[in-house]
Structure 1
Amino acid sequence: MNVADSELMYGKLAAHGYEPVDLPDGADVILVNTCAIRENAETRVIGRLGELKRFMKPDTIVGVTGCMAQRLGPRVLDQAKHVSLVVGPDGYRALPALLDGARRGEKFTATDFDLEEHYEDVVARRFEGVKAWIPVQRGCDYRCTYCIVPTTRGPERSRKLPDVVREVQQVVEQGLSEVVLLGQTVNSYTDGTHDFADLLRAVGAVDGIRRVRYTSPHPNDFSDRVIAAMAETPTVCEHIHLPMQSGSTSMLKRMLRRYSREEYLECVARMRAAIPGLALTTDIIVGFPGETDEEFEDTLSLVREVRFDDAFMFKFSPREGTPATRMPPEWTIPDALVAQRFERLVATVRGISRENNLKRLGDTTEVLVEKVARDGELLQARSRDFKTVMVPADSARIGDYLTVQLTGTTGATFTGTPVGDKKERVPLPMATL
């Protein structure tokens, strides 16, 4: 969602004559787009703002946008005196006017929610050359006790299905063939007439689209209709990121996740029965207030039972304004114990991931080549089931669909060898960053 918002801002500013630069040194405008999910992210932003001072010209305008801007509002201006703009996720339309005001020496905080704002008339400028991030829903109504999103993104609201389809068609015209539908609880999407199952089928049927992904769903909103749409729409990829957070029913109740351990497992079973070869990834929190040894063991046992392909794992980070910060102080888990549990969780998840991946060696699969890998020698590609595959090829192959044989694994990623000479080319957009 952060990337998608950045693309919206760039599109809005580009329409007013702004052009991107590769480095902040000497830029006229520097915008830092932020996240507020974890405290560490906000700490890094404050540090980054300090570093940016050395790149500023006398008339450079610095702004903070996104969820941290929404959460802290004018407090950002107090902490960083060289910042002129603080703009939340619903205020990007006003950026050109706010920048004009900042040039006159004014400072602005734009953090009001606009429940009608979906930026339908703003043409996003895509950063990535092979896929498009498309927000279909904003905000969240679930209010989990640890989560700041309802405060920073507001209540849930969805775009109209025809508007989403129109943007997907524009994406195809730009030469892209993979889309990722975005929402805080994306599978609760409804525009009053259509649900998420309708949206998957409609987007998946757009001529020229070859891959449809989405993130992040909520386990409660996987109706039989949604699972059937996934199974019956060939362009929808065989991968679901299904946030678990904890494997303990009592912990899930304290988190206000609104499902039990058994209901989560039942959801997984329905998905796997309908979609052969489904890959599952998840989110897990360690050290939530009051977490007992038994509750943590429940989390480990559920990880072993589901056998996730991978997981994003987090140490609990208290966020100001969430109900979790008002829980009894004696429920706080000592840092050393959190670290110990976290280490065990990581070892368990990574071990299962490695076992899963070793069983795949020798398989042949389709990948979309996305970019040059960090080592600068291989290309990074992605399979339909979200496996990262490193391919020896020239950078000219970025944007190609290749058939590869999985020949090796580090446990987390694969190496693959192209099979045969056949390849399919996806035209890249005329202008990318």
Structure 2
Amino acid sequence: MLQRMRRNHTREAYLELIQHIRNKVPGVALSSDFICGFCDETEEEFNDTISLIEKVEYDMAFLFAYSMREKTHAHRRMEDNVPEAVKKERLIKMIDTFKKHQLIKQKAEIGKYHLVMVDGNGRLGETQLTGLTDTNKRAVFQQIESRQIAVGDLVVAKVIDASQNTLFCETDGKKLSVTDFHAAYRTSV
């Protein structure tokens, strides 16, 4: 499959690279893009993709059914011959597989600390803040009145619960860094 897609690596080399990265950077978050239903994809090849998703346990993934794009090698030389119904069925299985492992990884974050860059209010409005962790995961936590954390601030947050896509955190509200780029720009000009 990788050769047909004009990728110049093997599954084995890719898995070795993943292991090397995880050895060098413990706790690293990994993300990837996957498509199913590429030209001539067999059930065995699709199952290889599923087993890769299970083995690597990605933190984030972008999952799609293949669709022919003009001006590509596949468009010029291959036939989009995997039926749409098969693509849809495979995509559902791929998403379900990813979500199962994603939730396990999210729950494993409970009790850990992360740096969070605040990027706005949460769904509860001004009493809740949200931001991205140092592993690019969505985190939410309560605003602390006495500290007034703002957009652009970096805070340390402890994960106390997790859902499929969100880490629920608590923080003492101490800012590690103020990163209000607009204010920094105004004072330097």
Give the TM-score band, short-chain normalised: 0.7 to 0.9
* Equivalent position to 1:362, from 84, 92, 111: 111
Give SS of 1:326's match: helix
The corresponding residue for 2:57 is 307
Contact preservation (8 Å) 1:289, 1:327: no
Note the C-alpha offset of 1:396: 5.1
Aligned residue identity for 1:263: A
Rg larger in structure: 1
> Mapping of 1:3-14 within 5 angstroms?
none
Aligned residue identity for 2:156: T
- Percent of residue pairs identical: 31
Contact preservation (8 Å) 2:149, 2:175: no
Q: Deviations over 1:122-175 (max 9, x none)?
A: xxxxxxxxxxxxxxxxxxxxxxxxxxxxxxxxxxxxxxxxxxxxxxxxxxxxxx
Contact preservation (8 Å) 1:389, 1:413: yes
Q: Deviations over 1:199-224 (max 9, x none)?
A: xxxxxxxxxxxxxxxxxxxxxxxxxx
The corresponding residue for 2:174 is 422
Note the C-alpha offset of 1:362: 1.7
Alpha-carbon distance change, 287 to 374 in structure 1, aligned in 2, over 3 angstroms? farther
2:2 pairs with 1:252: yes
Contact preservation (8 Å) 1:350, 1:412: no
The corresponding residue for 2:12 is 262
Alpha-carbon distance change, 374 to 325 in structure 1, aligned in 2, over 3 angstroms? farther
Note the C-alpha offset of 1:342: 0.3
Alpha-carbon distance change, 376 to 337 in structure 1, aligned in 2, over 3 angstroms? farther
Gaps of 5+ in 1: 1-250
Q: Deviations over 1:14-63 (max 9, x none)?
A: xxxxxxxxxxxxxxxxxxxxxxxxxxxxxxxxxxxxxxxxxxxxxxxxxx
Q: Deviations over 1:75-113 (max 9, x none)?
A: xxxxxxxxxxxxxxxxxxxxxxxxxxxxxxxxxxxxxxx
Cα distance between partner residues in 2 of 1:318 and 1:376 = 42
Note the C-alpha offset of 1:285: 0.9
Shifted more, 390-399 versus 270-279: the winner is 390-399
Aligned residues, how many?
A: 180
2:89 pairs with 1:332: no
Note the C-alpha offset of 1:328: 4.1
Cα distance between partner residues in 2 of 1:276 and 1:327 = 42
Note the C-alpha offset of 1:375: 5.5
Normalising to structure 1: TM-score of the pair?
0.39
Cα distance between partner residues in 2 of 1:252 and 1:374 = 42
The corresponding residue for 2:157 is 404
Alpha-carbon distance change, 315 to 374 in structure 1, aligned in 2, over 3 angstroms? farther
Cα distance between partner residues in 1 of 2:123 and 2:21 = 34
Aligned residue identity for 2:95: V
Cα distance between partner residues in 2 of 1:254 and 1:336 = 22
Note the C-alpha offset of 1:382: 1.3
2:40 pairs with 1:287: no
Aligned residue identity for 1:342: L
Give the strand-richer structure, 1 or 2. Answer: 2
Task: Name the structure, 1 or 2, with higher relative contact order (CA <8 Å, separation 6+).
Answer: 2
